[in-house]
Chain A
Amino acid sequence: MAQLVLQDVRKRFGKVEVIHGVDLEVKDGEFVVFVGPSGCGKSTLLRMIAGLEEVSGGDVVIGDERMNEVAPSDRGIAMVFQSYALYPHKDVYGNMAFALRHAGEDKKVIDERVRKAADILGLEDLLKRRPKELSGGQRQRVAIGRAIVRDPAIFLFDEPLSNLDAALRVQMRVEILRLHQRLKTTMVYVTHDQVEAMTLADRIVVLRDGRIEQVGTPLELYHHPKNQFVAGFIGSPRMNFLPARAAGEGRVTAAGSGPIEMPVEPRAEAGELTLGIRPEHVEMVAPGQGTVAGEVLVAERLGGETFLHVELDGKETVVVKADGGVTQKPADRVGLRFPPEALHLFGGDGQAFARRERQGVIA
C-alpha cells in the first residue's frame, strides 16, 4: 500500500503538450477516479503513473520514491486494461501466474497466491481455460485477478468496464467496490462514465484538455462544482443551463423569469451570467405559477421516473426529472419552479459563484 503524488506532471508529444502540469495527492488506501471526456488526457496520465509513458516534466512519486524513470514492473503497481490484455496463448492460471513466474517467484508461493485471487473472484473452475473460452465478464475478472496476484501497492484501472454490456457493468462495478473494501489498497481508476466515477470514487478528479478542473468527493462535485464544465459533466441528465442577467441585490433573471434570489456569495462580474439547475431539482407546478413557464416537447417515460423536455417561452429547453406517474403530454403547458437553494450561478468565464451552505441541501 502506498500513497501517490503527482507534482507538476507534464506530457509532451513532440512539441504538443497534452498534460499541462498536474498536481495531485492520492492518500494510501484511497479510491481515486479520473474522469473526463475522451481526449482529456486521463488515460495518458494513468499510463504515466504506470510507467508506460515517459514523463516529460514534473515528478511521479509512489510511496516515497520518485518513479519517473523506474520500469513499470518495479513501481509496485498492477494495471487492468480496457481490452483486458490477457495473453491469448496462456490459460487463466498461466495469465495470473505469469508476472510472478517471470520474477522467479517460488512455485508454491505462486500457486498459493493465484488460488487465493481465484477464490476472491470466483475463478476456481476456470483456471484451465484459455481467454477465448471466457465471457467478457470472466475475462475482466481474470484481468483483475492478474493484478491482485502481484499484490501491488497501487491498482491502476484503465476504463476496465467499457467493453462490457450495461448489466454486467453494474455488477462488476459492485465487485470492484467490494474488492477495494476487502483489500484496502490504493486504486486509481480511469473512466469517461460519470456514473462509474460517482459510484466508485472516494475522490473524483475531473480532467479536461490535460488539466485538472476539480478534485473532490462525489458529493462535493455534485453540490459545489467549481465551474460550468464540472457542473455539466457530473450528474445525469446533465444540469440545465440558462442565460441570466443580474437584477441587483444578489438576484438574477433568466428565461423570462422574475428576479430570483441566488444562494451564492456575491462577486463583481461584468460578463454574461449562466444560471444552472439540475433536472432533479426543478419542480413542476400549475401553468402560470412557479419561476418560468413553457410547453412540454417530449416526455421520456422510464417507469419509475419521467424526463420532461420543456420548451420555455424564451425558447430555451429545460429538462425536468419528474415522477413516473406524471400525466403531462407533449404540447401541454406547465409551470416550473426553481427552488432558490438548488440554483447554481456561473460567470462569463464559466467559473461558479461560491454557494452558501443552506438547510440540508448541501452535504
Chain B
Amino acid sequence: MTEIVEQAIGRSRTARRRRKTGGITHIAVFLAPTVLIYSIFSIYPLIESLRLSLFDGQPDGSAVWIGLGNYATLLFDANWAVRFWNALWNNLILFFIHMIVQNPLGLLLAALLSLAPRFGGTYRTLIFVPTLLSVVIVGFVWELILSPLWGVAEGMMSAVGLGWLYAPWLGLEDSALTAVSLISVWQYVGIPMMLIYAALLSIPDELLDAARVDGLSGFAIFWKIKLPLILPTLGIVAILTYIGNFTSAFDLIYSIQGVLGPPDYSTDIMGTLMFRTFFGQQTQIGDIHMGATVASMMFFIILIGVTIYLLGVQRRLTRYEM
C-alpha cells in the first residue's frame, strides 16, 4: 500500500506540469470590471460629493474646509432653510400620496389579476404601458390633457356633468403637487402591481385550497392568508417608493413644471432644489459645494428611510418559505 503511494508521488514529481487547482486570478478577473466601474462612477462620486459638501468655494476657484458649515447654511440660513424644508416637505407629501394611492391601487389591481380573469394578460399588458414611457413624455401628455387651452379634461368632465369641478390643477398652488403626484401614480402603478402580482402568484394553490376547505370565502382568503404572506413584498414596494421619490420624481416635475417647482415652489422637491443649487438659474449662481450639500442631505435622508426599513419593518416582516 505505502509502496504504491510512494511510487505515485515519485511519478507525479517527474511528470510534465499539470494544471493546478485553486488560485484566485480568475476570481479577480470576474470581479474586476464590476468593482472598477461601480467604484469609480458610483461610489467615488458619492464620497466625493460628501467631501465637497465640507468645503466652500472661493472666488479664485480654490476651496476651503469649513466643516459642517454648508449644512448649517442649508438648515438655518433663512433663505436656504425655507427652500430646503419646503422641498423636503413636498417630497414627503409626494411619498405619502404614492403610499395611499399608488400602492393600494397596485394591490387592488394585482389582487384582481391574480384571480386569473379572462383577458387578464391583456389588462396587465395595457396597464403597464405608462410605466414604459419616458417621464418626459408622460409629463407633456398630461400637461396637454389638463391644459385649459386644449380643454380635453374640461370637455370630458363637462360631458358627465362635472365641468364645474375642473380647474387648471397644474397651475394652482394648492393642487399642483397633488396633480403631479397623481400623474406619477398613473405612470408607475404598474410596478407595485407587477411585484405584488408576482408575490400573489407564488402562494401555492394548495394553501388556498386548504383555506377553502377551512371555510374561507374569497375575501377572507385575501385578508387572512394572501395579505399576511405578501407583507414582505409590500415592505419592498414601500421602500422602493421612498427611494423613487428622490430620483424619478425630478424628471416629471422638471418636464412639467421646470426647475423652479412652480407655482411659487409648491412643486419644488429635493431633486429640483439640488439641480438648481448645483447649476444655478436666473437669480442664482451655481454652487457645487452647496449642490453637494443638498445631495448629501438627500443621501442621509434616504439612509434614514432605508435604516428604518431594514431595522424596523423588514425584521418584523418574516419571509415565509412557501
| Interface flag for A127 (CB, 8 Å) | no
A221 proximal to B (CB < 8 A): no
Contact B214 A73 (CB under 8 A): yes
The 0/1 profile, CB within 8 Å of A marked 1, for residues 198-217 of chain B is 00000010110111111110
Interchain CA distance A87-B220 in the complex, whole Å:
14
Given contacts A88-B320, A89-B320, A132-B320, contact A52 B215 (CB under 8 A): no
Residue A264 at the B interface, CB < 8 A? no
A71 part of interface (Cβ distance < 8 Å): yes
B209 touches A79 (CB 8 A): yes
Q: Which of B102-110, B152-160, B221-229 contacts A (4 or more CB under 8 A)?
A: B221-229
In the complex, chain B residues 270-322 whose Cβ is within 8 Å of any chain A Cβ: 318, 320-322
Once bound together, how far apart are the Cα atoms of A50 and B322, in whole Å?
23
Size category of the A interface is 20 to 34
Q: At the interface, yes or no: A72 with Cβ under 8 Å from chain B?
A: yes
Judge whether B204 and A102 touch: CB under 8 Å: no
List chain A residues, Cβ under 8 A from B321. Answer: 88, 131-132
Any chain B CB within 8 A of the CB of A170?
Answer: no
Q: Is the CB of B215 within 8 A of A50?
A: no
Interface size for B (C-beta < 8 A) is 20
CB-based contact B229/A81 at 8 Å: no
Q: Quick check: B224 and A50 within 8 Å, CB to CB?
A: no
Identify the closest chain A residue to B212 (Cβ).
A72
Interface centre among B204, B215, B220, B225 (most CB of A within 10 A): B215
| Interface contact B225-A85, CB-CB below 8 Å | no
Q: Distance in Å from the Cβ of A83 to the closest Cβ of chain B?
A: 5
Complex partner residue of B210 from A51, A74, A81, A89, CB under 8 angstroms: A81
Given the interface contacts A85-B206, A132-B320, does A72 sit within 8 Å of B213 by beta carbon? Answer: yes
Contact B229 A52 (CB under 8 A): no
Tell whether, in the assembled complex, residue B215 and residue A78 are in contact, meaning their CB atoms are under 8 Å apart. Answer: no
Residue A99 at the B interface, CB < 8 A?
A: yes
Q: Is the CB of A81 within 8 A of B206?
A: yes
Q: How far is the CA of A99 from the CA of B215 in the complex (A)?
A: 7
**B interface footprint on A40-53 (CB within 8 Å = 1, 0 otherwise):** 00000001001110
Complex partner residue of B213 from A73, A86, A89, A131, CB under 8 angstroms: A73
Q: Are A102 and B207 in contact (CB under 8 A)?
A: no
A7 to B229, CA, bound (A): 39
A322 at the interface (CB under 8 A from B): no
| B206, B220, B224, B321, most chain A CB atoms within 10 A | B206
| A77 partner residues in chain B, CB cutoff 8 A | 213
Kindly state the separation between the CA atoms of A87 and B209 in the bound complex, as whole angstroms: 11
- Pair A73/B229 contact, Cβ less than 8 Å: no
**B210 lies within 8 A of A73 (CB):** no
> Would you call A351 an interface residue if the criterion is a C-beta within 8 Å of the partner chain's C-beta atoms?
no
**CB of A338 within 8 Å of the partner chain:** no
Q: Is the CB of A88 within 8 A of B322?
A: yes
Are the C-beta atoms of B213 and A103 separated by less than 8 Å?
no
CB-CB under 8 A for A99 and B214, given A85-B209, A88-B229 = yes
- Closest B residue to A80 by beta carbon equals B210
Contact at A102–B215, with CB atoms within 8 Å?
yes
Tell me how far the C-beta of B206 lies from the nearest C-beta in chain A, rounded to whole angstroms: 4
Q: Are A52 and B320 in contact (CB under 8 A)?
A: no
- List, in ascending order, chain A residues with CB within 8 A of B212's CB: 51-52, 71-73
Indicate the member of B204, B210, B212 with the most A CB atoms within 10 Å. Answer: B210
Interface residues of A in 74-102 (CB under 8 A from B): 74, 77-79, 81-83, 85-89, 98-99, 102
B residues within 8 A CB of A131?
321
A-B contacts, 28 listed (Cβ < 8 Å): A51-B213, A52-B209, A52-B213, A71-B212, A71-B215, A72-B209, A72-B212, A72-B215, A79-B210, A81-B206, A81-B209, A83-B206, A85-B210, A86-B207, A87-B207, A87-B211, A88-B320, A89-B228, A89-B318, A99-B213, A99-B214, A99-B215, A102-B214, A102-B216, A102-B220, A131-B321, A132-B320, A150-B214
Besides A74-B215, A82-B206, A85-B206, 14 more A-B contacts (Cβ < 8 Å) are A72-B209, A72-B212, A73-B216, A77-B213, A79-B210, A81-B206, A83-B204, A85-B209, A85-B210, A88-B322, A89-B318, A99-B215, A102-B215, A132-B321
